[in-house]
Structure 1
Amino acid sequence: MLSQSAKDGFDTLLTQALRQSLVPSDAACEVSVLANIGDIPEKKMVVLTVSSYLFRLMVMFYFNPDRGTQEHFARLNRLESAEMDEQSFMDAIAEAGNLCCGILNRDLGSFFPHIGMSTPNVIDTQCAAYLQTLNCEHIQHFAVDIDQSRRFHVSLTVSAYADIDFEVSAEELGGSTGELELF
């Protein structure tokens, strides 16, 4: 069972990771909670999983494969939009999701041992209609509004395999993406 503090902690750590991975360094963003998944208009999503022995969470990054989205990810990667072909565009979206979940994975490591992360998968957003079948204890949808860009949407689901209670404080929130860890 997830405590309310744990649900808030997962939400806080994800929103911090979103700010560090989806927002260009010269822009600001506002992350807000959406009450209804029906408010998410995008057609595709990148799905990643972060798991431990105690929980499994999934993060879904919604997007439309259009010019505005391509321009955002080109800007994020300091490229010209014209330099991105379809494959490099999809790679940039998947890598942004990977970076976000890597930050989330690192931050959750302060609370939980033995955490692993999946590789990104791109699927149709119609699959999101089946989130309830995962028997998640926590489902949250976010809108990410970025200056000089478009609105993006992200969903978080958390399934718990044990009682989970932790609290995130301001001191535990990192301000950088950290160093590359070699094994």
Structure 2
Amino acid sequence: MITAQAKDSFERIFRKAAQARLPVDSSDICEIVPLADACEGSTKDTQVVVLTISSIVFRLLLILHFDENDGTRGYYLQGDDERPFQEAFLEICNLCCGAMNQELLHYFPDLGMSTPYVLSARCLPHLHELKPGFVQSYAITLNGSAQLAATVCVCAYAPVDFVADMSAVEETSGELELF
């Protein structure tokens, strides 16, 4: 069982990570709105990147949906035609999941994170077979040019109850500070 406050916490952690890591530049606009269904907006060409965060009490799947179209390619490659799109996009997806993992480590110290893998979006209707305690999908628009979707799916193996404190000052790493 996943409590209502834990579901709310998973959602807030996802939103924070998505807004921080999915945009190429911190000044880019990242709009996130809930979707009624994980398959909403999928085409026959839609693919998904699946990442997993696992603990003793739950497994969280972060599923990022994308179409490799001109808008998405242009946004993430920024004119770099030498780099394969999937390489660039998988790196971004990994950073987003890593940000979620870092936040969840405050409440669950035993987490492991998978590497990203790409599947067809045709697998999304089968999420219910995992018997998730929480599933929420979102439409994501980046700077009005890139359209993505995301699904957060959490399967609980024991009761999950926590309240994420999102008011904490974010620590930085790898940046120089000038005094």
Structure 1 gap ranges (5+): none
Segments of 4+ moved more than 6 angstroms? none
Q: How many Å apart are 1:54 and its aligned residue?
A: 1.0
Change (3 A) 1:151 1:173: farther
**TM-score, L = length of structure 2:** 0.89
Q: How many Å apart are 1:71 and its aligned residue?
A: 0.8
Q: What is the match of residue 38 of structure 2?
A: 37
CA contact under 8 A between 2:57 and 2:158: conserved in structure 1?
yes
The one-letter code sitting in structure 2 at the alignment partner of 1:119 is: T
Q: How many Å apart are 1:173 and its aligned residue?
A: 6.9
Q: What is the match of residue 61 of structure 1?
A: 64
The one-letter code sitting in structure 2 at the alignment partner of 1:129 is: P
2:158 pairs with 1:159? no
Describe how 1:16-27 pairs up with structure 2 within 5 A.
16-23=16-23, 24-27=25-28
Change (3 A) 1:4 1:125: same
Change (3 A) 1:165 1:173: farther
Q: What is the match of residue 13 of structure 1?
A: 13
Separation in structure 2 between the aligned mates of residue 151 and residue 57 of structure 1, nearest angstrom? 23
Percent identity among equivalent residues?
Answer: 32
Separation in structure 2 between the aligned mates of residue 95 and residue 38 of structure 1, nearest angstrom? 24
Q: How many Å apart are 1:142 and its aligned residue?
A: 0.7
**TM-score, L = length of structure 1:** 0.87
Q: How many Å apart are 1:129 and its aligned residue?
A: 1.1
Aligned length in residues: 171
**Per the alignment, in what secondary structure is the counterpart of residue 103 of structure 1?**
helix
